[in-house]
Each structure stands twice: as structure tokens, then as C-alpha cells.
Amino acid sequence: MHGPGSSGWLLVALCAATGAYCLLRMRSSVEEQRRAAGGEALMGFGMAAMAVPAAVFTPPAWTWPLWAAVFGAAGLHALWAARASARHLHHAVGAGAMVYMAVVMAAAPQGAHHGGAGIPALTAALLLYFAAYVLVTGARLAPVAAVAGGPPGAGPGTGAGTGWGDRPELARACRLSMGIAMVAMLLTM
């Protein structure tokens, strides 16, 4: 969070683009996809705001508790939704990580927005979780037909005939990019 200029801006762009695509996914005809996309859009835009380089903008001290409350509420909502689908547990972990980062930033002295902050064991556990998530999600994006030597685009889940908001591989790519961004943000703590 609040890393060096160019990498910080790349992270802002990645998270903002992901959040924008998630807003597009909210127009899906599939109810479950719309619900998940809303939480993911919130996460993408929240991560983009947290990644803005401190040299450009340092948020006022009151924003960190506000973000902790917003993502705490999102985490509780994800836990409630996990009753219907275990996939929402990942959203709860992501929201919990955002709460953790906001609390760490609120407790940090003004201007000390990275390096050595937080609880090392918790940071490491979150890093391990999101690194594993990135690896598994990235492996799932590899087309089955390409791996098996078949023609490209012939594998399951190619999304042929669906709208931009209903393409499962793009939703996975969206989640993968947020996972990568989360790893990057946790590494700066």
C-alpha cells in the first residue's frame, strides 16, 4: 500500500480496471454472478484507492477506520452469503485482509505507510493464502484444449455465445488480478 510511484500506479490501474469490469459483470442475467460482481467491484476500487502512491495523496486519518468499517460489513455480508455457496468464503478472506490493512494503516504513524507494519504472522498467513489462490486460479485459466493439444477455443468454459458480463474466464481473470494485487499490497506491509 502506498508503494513507489510507478508500481503504485500500475497497481491502481489494475485494480481500477478490475473494479470497472466487475461493474460490467453486475449487468449479468445470472443472479449469483451479479451478487459476486458487486463485492468484487467494491474490492477492486477499494484496493485501487489504497494503492495510490503516498507522494500524490495521503488520505486523512479518518479514512482508514471508515475503510475498515466498509470492508468489515462486506466481510460479514460474504460470510452470510457463504451459507449458500462456499465460494463466498474467499470474499470474506479478501474483505478481512482489507480490514487488516486498513487497521494497520490507521495504527501507523502519519507518513509511515509501508514496511514493517502489521502482525508478521498474520501478514505471512494472508500472503500464503493469496499466493496459493493466485496459483490455483491461474492454473484454472489455462484452456483445457490447449493443454490437451486440441484446437484453441474448444475447451469448456470458453464463454462462446455469452455477453461480456457472463464470461466465466473473464470473471476468473478478474479474480486472479485482484489476488495478484492483494499479494503486492501485503508485500509492502
> Rounded distance, CA 58 to CA 66, Å?
15
Measuring CA to CA, how many Å separate 33 from each of 25, 38, 44, 101? 7, 9, 16, 27
Instruction: Indicate the range of 56-65, 102-111, 145-154 predicted with least confidence.
Output: 145-154
pLDDT at 155: 44
All three cell numbers of 33, joined, read: 454472478
Half-sphere exposure (Cβ direction) of 163: Cα atoms closer than 13 Å: 10
* Nearby residues of 50 by Cβ (< 8 Å), 6 or more positions away: 1, 2, 67, 98, 101, 102, 105, 185
pTM of the entire predicted model: 0.82
First vs last C-alpha separation in the chain: 7
What's the pLDDT tens digit per position in 7-61?
889 999 999 999 999 998 888 887 778 878 888 999 999 999 998 888 788 888 8
pLDDT at 161: 42
Q: Calculate Rg over the CA atoms of the chain.
A: 17
Question: What is the DSSP code (8-state) at residue 150?
Answer: -
Average pLDDT on 59-81 reads: 93
Instruction: Indicate the range of 64-68, 84-88, 135-139, 159-163 predicted with least confidence.
Output: 159-163
